[in-house]
Structure 1
């Protein structure tokens, strides 16, 4: 179920000029030293979800989120020198204090530059601080260390989409799906891209359905989008008949 307190909606549906009021935090710690980090199966994820401190509007069938909150994954044990400041940085992000997070993460990017998760969260902090160039650099570094960092791919895709670079956004989501085809949020986000921006309802429909399957439950809001798209696709096919 999409919880309206956990993500921010866009106010003008089916329009290219939609702006996201803010974005939920996707917090993971990935290790690139000694091998790329691997996300654990969905059944093994923690129950804690991340969100922002402000209350979002109640969602309805016409509003679509740019992202949905995700559950942090359990990773292998890390250097204690990393774990303590990293945990504090995560807490700062959850408290909507990205500057404090950057102050903690920047030294870690220098002392432990091979930890992909540090770069992911630095990218999130820079994103929230409205420093897109620094955010892109951090996300790109995370992907260089661990191409399976779906969070980094998703943020880069979102930033490309907001810049009107829809083909670039599609490519970034495609890379995320290549790295992790079972990452439900990528299917949701690329579905929104196809639905609202690229106007490819059949592709959007396929990804919304896959999101429902991978999420393990039929989200009522996404179900409404699916019904709406099914009607539009059916009407389009009827109209195309000679």
Structure 2
């Protein structure tokens, strides 16, 4: 059984074999042991609603109200017009951008549909350039289970407290690392299912919509914790 992280050679071989999905395919985005992914045009803003005492993530209606409608990146020129800012260097005026205010967090997505079939798993990491610029790209949820293939949702957080940050759509913003696993019992759909959309690329592209970025904790059933038994009372433990 192979172990460890896929190298660039193994990534290319797995793409050719159909185990890794990377669409649209851009070989120049394959690094030594990862694949760069780019920022898509749709996003949800957060923390801009009127103050409320509690946000209940287990209520779908409240989740929908909290995140509101999906927003779409606007051109650099239009952003300058709306905000009164001068054009920014090295960004074409017709290029779509998303601008994060100081301390702002958004949900955004990769332009690419990407993932791996089992046996194999994935992890998303911020590109170091964005970390150095004070932007967290996958703030706390960067793990992809075996069989998860889709546009990835990113929790992008502007850690700068005094400066807004411009994110051009199409910019390489994160990287996906692929890892070998042992054989997996069951499919991603059966093991998790909250964010499952299947593995057929044509269907994934046709059915994708921005609302797929929203959290779905409301799909889980609440249950109380299991009672912790004493070690000597655990029937699973064999004793001499």
TM-score by length of 2: 0.31
Give the number of the structure with larger relative contact order, counting CA–CA contacts within 8 Å between residues 6 or more apart: 2
- As a proportion of its length, which structure holds more strand? 2
TM-score by length of 1: 0.31
